[in-house]
Structure 1
């Protein structure tokens, strides 16, 4: 094998590796089901006005949240927020536990980053 042939193979391998990394990242980024993304965007639109600009900003926002927070952690935070609204002893663990607070804080940090990037 010649030096030129070796260099071509190395260049070809180096060209393929970044594309594979992007593909892996894209699959991580798209672990949110479409229904969860739509639900987020609908809520965001209600909070920010139902304009074309808000659609763009809210779509951007869920993309940022999805890139920063794994879907299972997002579901945990959404569940905690929902259950914390239950009155009495049933909702108390969701309002006071360290794990619940951590999940909510993760979601709020991701949403704050989305706010900075998208709005």
Structure 2
């Protein structure tokens, strides 16, 4: 849950409640996720609503920096050669990806 605090005239700042991620995803990241989701699931208005719901739920669970890190790891694991090997075994990388997967599973339950 995000609490809103008024600062001056018309200025509002969101502060996270203990234990929750700050919803700091830029608009272009949300749009990119939504387009990719729609490309996979269908190009309909209903799917746009479901896919945008999914990225909103992910953003509630996972800070943007962690999301970018997990997506990078997943993309690098798909490459071949020596460089991709370093993205397969490290425990911190595995935990980052696992957190993203849990957020995606929660989003699928809620939005789809």
TM-score, normalized by length of structure 2?
Answer: 0.81
Deviations 1:40-90 (A, max 9, x none): 001110111111110000010000000100001001001101111121211
CA RMSD of aligned residues (A): 2.0
CA distance in 2, matches of 1:103, 1:42: 23
Instruction: Select the structure that is richer in helix.
Output: 1
Whether 1:45 and 2:38 are equivalent positions in the alignment is: yes
Aligned residues: 100
Alignment of 1:1-119 (within 5 A): 19-20=4-5, 23-25=14-16, 28-29=22-23, 31-119=24-112
Instruction: Select the structure that is richer in strand.
Output: 2
Name the larger-Rg structure: 1
CA distance in 1, matches of 2:29, 2:14: 22
Deviations 1:77-108 (A, max 9, x none): 01101111121211001122212211110100
Q: Which stretches of structure 1, 4 residues or more, deviate above 4 A after TM superposition?
A: none
